[in-house]
Amino acid sequence: MIRLAASQPNWVVGHQDEVWFSRYATPHLHAWTEGKALPLQLKTVPKSKSASTALDCYGLLRGDTGEMMLRFVEERPLSGVTIQFLKWLSEVLAAQGKSVLLLFWDNASWHVSRQVTDWLKAHNRRVKAQGGCRLLVCRLPVKSPWLNPIEPKWVHGKKNTVEAKRVLSAEELKHRLCLY
């Protein structure tokens, strides 16, 4: 499928996944330092928190450009949010003249839900009749994150957004991730 997609100029191969970026928990990172280890402080959630403690980031790693297409939500990944992300992807890619997104993703419950599979079928029927970008889904084997090239991007993204001394606001975290 990847070879077929690569031979078609209006197709895009994409690897999709979601990840949580906590604003309070220190990610599990390993790094070499000369001498003293880097000090990471324990951050506590204020009692009157008005902002979310974490951001969920939906991402697509494009095979044609190497670009990461990101969307942030302040809720956990659900079928409805996944559908919104897929709709956005298909609109952006259709505007770029792409007709097919060959989408590789895992078997998360919100990926295989009845709501998402029904939406995908209806979307592809609509695109066939009216034009746009079709979504061809290829599911990765269960428990095989090494097969998804987007996974290392999340690890590096977390390393590049760690703040040792203070809690980042949601906007600062989004900004740092987008810059990375």
* Structure confidence at residue 145 (pLDDT): 75
* Structure confidence at residue 131 (pLDDT): 96
User: Average per-residue pLDDT in the chain?
Assistant: 84
* Structure confidence at residue 163 (pLDDT): 67
Long-range contacts of 120-123 (CB under 8 A, 24+ apart): 120/86, 123/86, 123/87, 123/90
* Structure confidence at residue 176 (pLDDT): 82
The CA distance from 130 to 99, in Å, is: 12
pLDDT tens digits for range 86-110? 999 999 999 999 999 999 999 889 9
* Structure confidence at residue 122 (pLDDT): 98
> Counting beta carbons within 10 angstroms of the beta carbon of residue 151, is it exposed (0 to 12), middle (13 to 18) or buried (19 or more)?
middle
In order along the chain (180 residues), what is the average pLDDT of each group of 10 residues? 89 92 58 60 54 80 94 85 96 97 93 96 97 96 85 81 72 83
- CATH code of 2-22+53-179, in short, is 3.30.420.10
* Structure confidence at residue 44 (pLDDT): 57
Contact of 104 with 145, CB cutoff 8 Å: no
- What φ, ψ does residue 179 adopt, rounded to 5°? -65, -40
* Structure confidence at residue 154 (pLDDT): 83
Total-model pTM: 0.79
Q: Where exactly are the structural domains of the chain? A: 2-22+53-179
Considering all CA atoms of the chain, what is the largest pairwise distance in Å, rounded to the nearest integer? 64
